Chain A
Amino acid sequence: MRPFTYLRAQSPAEAATLAAQVSGARFIAGGSNLLDLMKLEIETPAYLIDVNDVGLDRIEAAQDGGVRIGALVRNTDLAAHPRIRKDYALLARALLAGASGQLRNVATTAGNLLQRTRCPYFYDPNQACNKRQPGSGCAAIAGFSRQLGLIGVSDACIATHPSDMAVAMRALDAQVETIKPDGSTRTFPLSELHRLPGNSPNIENSLAPNELITAVTLPRPLGGTHIYQKVRDRSSYAFALVSVAAIVQKDGRGCIALGGIAPKPWRVERAETEMPNGAKAVVGQLLDGATPTHDNAFKLLLVERTLAAVLAQAREQA
C-alpha cells in the first residue's frame, strides 16, 4: 500500500471541498472495497478523506411518500430497517444476498454503488487491463470470462458491476443525490450513475471529480410482489453469475433489472411490456444485442430460466 494522509471530514460540504483542495484524494466510507484495492496498489490515493462522521447515516421518510437513504447507512441497517422490509422488500433481499454479515456491517450505500468490478484480470496487476491501465488491452476477452459481462460491454472491457444492492435500486427507480466541491447539489436517476465502458473503461461513473454522494432516494412504494433471485456458484457469500430483481403486479406487469451480466444494473423499460407474455419474450428484448464470449454464453439461457422461475414464483405469491 502506498503512504497516504488521513483526514476526517465533519460535513458533506467539507468532505467535497477538502478533496478538491488536495491532489489525489479519495473518500473512504466502509473501506471494504477501497482498502482491498489499495493493498494491491490498484488504487493509490495520496489522501483519504474519511466520511464516516459527516452525518449521512439516517434513513428518513421523504415528502413524496418515498424514502431517503443516507450515503453512509450501512448495508446491514438498510436491510433491517422496518420501512425497507415492508415497502421495499426487493432492496432488503438484494442486500441480504450480498457479501457476508461482517462486510454488510461496514459496507455503505454510496460505497456499494461505487464498488469496482471483481474481474479477476483487473485484480491481477500482471495482466493487461484497460480499466486499470488504459491502453494496455483486455486479458479477459480471450481469457477466463465465465463471470464477466455480455451486454453493454465493449471491445475494450467486458467487466460487470458486482453490486446486488444497485440492481434492486435500479428496479425501484432510485435517484442519487450529491454535493460538489463548489457546494452545489444535484439529483439524478441511478440509471445515469454508471457509465458503459466504450473506449474508456477506466471512467466508470458520471460523477464530477470529488463529487460526494449524499443520499439515495426511492419513490413511493410500488406495491406488488418483490423477488430478488441471485444465481451463484455457492449458495452464500459469492458474487452473482446472474441475478434478477423483479417487482410483479397482480396483472402480470412490473419491472425487472438484471445483475451479473453488464457494467451497470441492466434494465430496459420497453422489455417490461412483454412481462405478461413470459420470460422468453422479455429476455428477447432485454438482452437484444448481447455479445457473449464462449465462456459466458451460458448466461443467456440462465437469465431466461431465472426470470421464468421468478415470474412463476410471483404468480404463486400473488
Chain B
Amino acid sequence: MDVPTTVSTALEDRPVSGAVCLEAGAGVGNTTAGLLAAGASRVYAVTNDAAHAKAVSERVARAEPDRTAVLEADLRSLPLADDSVEIITAHGLFNVLPPESLDAVVGEFRRVASPGCHLVVDDYEPLPSDAAIRELFALENATSELARGRPALTFYPADVVRRLFVGDGWTFDREWTLLDPVPWTENHVRAHANVARSFASKLPDELGDQLAADADRLETAIGSESVGEMYSIAFQYPE
C-alpha cells in the first residue's frame, strides 16, 4: 500500500523506528501503514468503527500480524496500560471528534504516554468563508446533528490544538503545513455527500428527502475544490 505523502511527511522527523505506537482513530489504515513502514516495533490501531477496524486489518495488519494490533475501542477509555506508548498519532482524527469528547481523549493520550512520548496531530484549519465545499460540510453537520445529536466535522485551528496539548503538559515541538491547498477531489466530495445522504435517510421522510436532494445538488455543483490547509503539529511529553 502506498503511504500518503501527508502521512510520510508528518512522520519523517519522528523517531518511529523501534517505537511502540498508538494510531488514534485508525480510519482505513493510512497512518498505521506509515508507522509500520517507518519501522515501528508495534502499532495499536484504535478505531470505534467496526468497518474501519476490518479495513485496517485487511489492508495493513494482515501483512504485519506480529507488529499490528487492531483494537475496536473508544479513545475516551483506551484499553492500554499507563505509560505504555512512545508515539501517538492522530492523523485526521480531531475533525471527527466533537468538542465534548476532546477532554476525555486528551486525558487518555496523557495517561498512556510514556515519559518522552511523541505526539503528532495532523488536521485541517477551518475553511475560508468563500470555500464552496463549506456548504457541503454544513449540510453534513446539519444532517448529523439532526440524526444523532452531534456534528460530523469540526475543524480545530492549529493554534487551538497547540494550546490544548501544551495546557495538558506537552511540550510543543514544531508545526508544518502538510497541504496547501487541500485537494478535495470528486471522490472526497462524493464521500462527504454520501455521509450527508446516509444521515438524511434516518430523518423523517419530508425533511430527509429535502436534505438528500441538497446533497445531490451540492455534489454536482462543487465537483472538486482545492482549498484550505492541512497542518501537522508535533509535541513531546517531558521525560
Q: Are A and B genuine complex partners? A: no
* Interface residues of B, Cβ cutoff 8 Å to A: none
* Interface residues of A, Cβ cutoff 8 Å to B: none
